[in-house]
Structures are given as C-alpha cells and as structure tokens.
Structure 1
Amino acid sequence: MKRRSGSGPGRGGLSLLATWASLALATACSSETTGGLPPLLTANGSTPPPVAVAPTISPNLTPITFRPGPDFAPITPPPIQPDLPDPPSLRPAPNGEFNLLLSTPPNPAVIPPVGSAFVTVTLRGLLVPGVIASVELQFFNISRGTDITGIFLPTAIEQFRNTLIGRGNSYADRTDGITLTNGFTFPADLAAYSANVAPGERVLVILVIRDSFGQALRLEARAQAT
C-alpha cells in the first residue's frame, strides 16, 4: 500500500512563493534606490549634463533712508496788533501851520538887565489822536552846520514840552487841532545868540512829536536871521 505525504507538495510550493517574493522585493528596492539619481557615467563614458542649481540671491546692501516724521512743533502766531489811532499829522494850510520867526531886541534893550534875542515857533492845527507822549526840539544854524539849541534857556524848552505833552484827545484838539496861541517864544542870551547866529544866516528848527503808540511826526521850519 503506497503512503502519500501531504507536506511534500506544500513545502515545495512555499519555497517557490518565497523565491518570487524575494525577487520582487529586490527589484522594488533597486528601482526606488537608484531610479531617482542620474548615472555617474553614460554608456559611452562621457560626463552627464550638470544638475541645475538654484541661483544665490545676493544681499541688498543699499542703506535704508527713513523719511523724517512730521514736525508737530507748536506754531507761535504773530502778536495781535491793536487798532492804532491815526498817527500825528498837521492840517494842510491854511488851517495848519508850523513856522519860525527870528528877532533881536532894539538897542538899548527893553528887557533889563540883559538884552535877549527871541525865536518864536508858530504851531497851529496839530492833530494827535493818540495823545502826545514826547516832544523833541532842536535848533540848527544850517549856514554853519552847528547845533544852537544850547543858546536858548533850558527852562523855556522844558516849558514848551510840558505845554504839548498829554494833549491831543480832547474835543477841541480832535476837531480843531492843537494850536499855540501867538506861538511860543524861546529867549536866548543876546551875547550867545550874536556869537552863534549872524545876520543873513539861516536857522532850522526840528520838532518831533510822538504819540503814546510810538507813531511820530517830524516838522521842520526855516528862517533867516536879520
């Protein structure tokens, strides 16, 4: 009686299957390992083409200039100017007048104990709405180019200033103008006058009127000595 062995064919079949699996795995590994790389040498021994390399980006060394920020410094507005009154002025002739008169006393002098020379200033129609704040008065011998203010009595010049300072805003001063009735006479010592002013020479008087706002008026008058 023949005995059959069931394991004979089975072991042979398993061995065959294992062999096929090993070949398939080796083929797969070889394909995955070497398929993505180019060969070192081609079949004819020449060098393969180079592989493309990504370009290198050079750094930008240009300095960055920052735009300055806005200037929010406070702006100082100009000072507010008050509404100034009209500056000092002299009415046009014949209502306005600034004149100079030179005179010497007769011989012998009628004013004892010494004779005096006289310079009379006529002022009429002076308008100073801002009120007279200061008065400057000077006399010149323009024939010689000398200042002769000092030959007149200082008390007379000071009195002339005090007569005008503070005037200009009254009703009469605003409508008719400041007027010195019969003018204002400045006496001088006769000897000093004769030494500084000779007959025929011309004398100039300059009057500067400033109001309380700093506005000024300059008046000039000339006369010839006799």
Structure 2
Amino acid sequence: MKRRSGSGPGRGGLSLLATWASLALATACSSETTGGLPPLLTANGSTPPPVAVAPTISPNLTPITFRPGPDFAPITPPPIQPDLPDPPSLRPAGEFNLLLSTPANPAVIPPVGSAFVTVTLRGLLVPGVIASVELQFFNISRGTDITGIFLPTAIEQFRNTLIGRGNSYADRTDGITLTNGFTFPADLVAYNANVFAGERVLVILVIRDSFGQALRLEARAQAT
C-alpha cells in the first residue's frame, strides 16, 4: 500500500501559489493602466474646482444710426475761354490828337453860333470789331466835365462812325483812320463860359471790342 500523505499537501500548495501569482499580476496591471489618470477626488476628498466656461455675449440692441451720405452738389465748370483776337491797339505810326479852335467869325449852327473841337484818329486796330465807344471832355485846369457843351448829335454820330468797324481788310492792314479827323461843334456861349484861353482840355476815348477788350486813348490841347 502506497503512502498518499505527501501528494495532498503538494497539490494544495501549488493552488495557493497560483492564486497569489494571479493577484500580483492583477495588481501590477491595475497600477500601470491607471497611474496616468487624475484622481476623481482630491486627497482630502473635496470636489475639484469647476472648469471655466466662456461668458455669454448679450446681443447689442442699440439702433444703428446711418451716417448721411455726402452732398454731391453739381459743380458748374468755368466757361470755356475762346481764343481771343488781339485787343484794340494803336499802330506805332498811329495818332490820337485834339485841336481846339474858336473862329473869329464862328459859323452859325442853328440855333447858336459854335466853337469847334477836332479829334484826329489814325491807325486804330480792332480785330475783334468795335462794339462800343465812350467819349468825354474835361477842362483839367478846372477839374470839370465839359462833355455837355458839345452838341449831342455830334457825339452820337462819332460813335456810329466807329461802331462795327475793325474787321475789314483795310481796317486790319492800315487801321481805322478818320480822314481829316472828326469835328465836334460846341455851343459858343457855353464854350466861352467853360473854357478860357490858356486852360487845358482833355479828351478820353475808350474803344471796347465785342470780346470786352478795351483800349483807352487820351489827348490834351490848350485853349487859345
């Protein structure tokens, strides 16, 4: 008969060792797989701080005010300046003179006897055509305007003689010339009252062309 006392404890010892090995392996796996995770609770058992949450932005309910648009007012361009002709001028050889005369036996121009004032004009160039004529007489010794002593019809005739001239072939080449000048009769009584011998008389002639360009001419003479 064989002895069985040794075999029983042997199988029981192996089973115990196997159980311890399984526990050790489970403990090792548990420490490896959970060692990198944060604890759910802190060491003292309190709740961890809350995670920050982005604030909620409330909508802007302020009404939008639109800026008024720019005022694009229409801009009027300046007028186109035409290519102007040469302004009125007196040729270098031209002249503008004044002659006063009181004849011993004055001619009678009804209803009065007359003195005479003669204006000489030669070589006037006005390519833009004469549009207006202004004529004035002054007694510069007294500082008075004596245009009114001359017959108005004579002054008007002088204007009409010049207005519209300047663009003809002769006017463009030789200039406007009043042959023998132009004589203005004056009321003899008014002349003698406003012009004494030795006093100086000034005549001013302003020629303006159709483009607004002007020429001012002056002449002086001494009364005898």
Q: Count residues with an aligned counterpart.
A: 224
More displaced stretch, 69-78 vs 193-202: 69-78
Change (3 A) 1:120 1:42: same
- Residues 124-147 of structure 1, C-alpha deviation per residue, up to 9 Å, x if partnerless? 000112221221111111222211
More displaced stretch, 56-65 vs 10-19: 10-19
Mapped partners of 1:11, 1:65: distance in 2: 95
More displaced stretch, 44-53 vs 150-159: 44-53
- The structural deviation recorded for 1:123 is 0.3
- Residues 29-62 of structure 1, C-alpha deviation per residue, up to 9 Å, x if partnerless? 9999999999897443566444333366698999
Alignment check: 8 A CA contact 2:108 2:114 kept: no
Mapped partners of 1:190, 1:7: distance in 2: 183
* SS of residue matched to 1:71: coil
- The structural deviation recorded for 1:200 is 2.0
Identity, % of aligned positions: 98
Alignment check: 8 A CA contact 1:105 1:115 kept: no
- Residues 90-128 of structure 1, C-alpha deviation per residue, up to 9 Å, x if partnerless? 0013xx000111121216778898542211111000011
* SS of residue matched to 2:109: coil
Contiguous gaps of at least 5 residues in structure 2: none
More displaced stretch, 173-182 vs 30-39: 30-39
* TM-score, normalising length: structure 2: 0.68
- The structural deviation recorded for 1:176 is 0.9
Alignment check: 8 A CA contact 2:115 2:186 kept: yes
Q: CA RMSD in A?
A: 7.3
- Residues 172-220 of structure 1, C-alpha deviation per residue, up to 9 Å, x if partnerless? 1111111111111111111101111122222111111122222221111
* SS of residue matched to 2:112: coil
Change (3 A) 1:200 1:8: farther
Mapped partners of 1:108, 1:139: distance in 2: 21
Change (3 A) 1:108 1:51: closer
Alignment check: 8 A CA contact 2:106 2:115 kept: no
Question: Higher strand proportion, which one?
Answer: 2
Contiguous gaps of at least 5 residues in structure 1: none
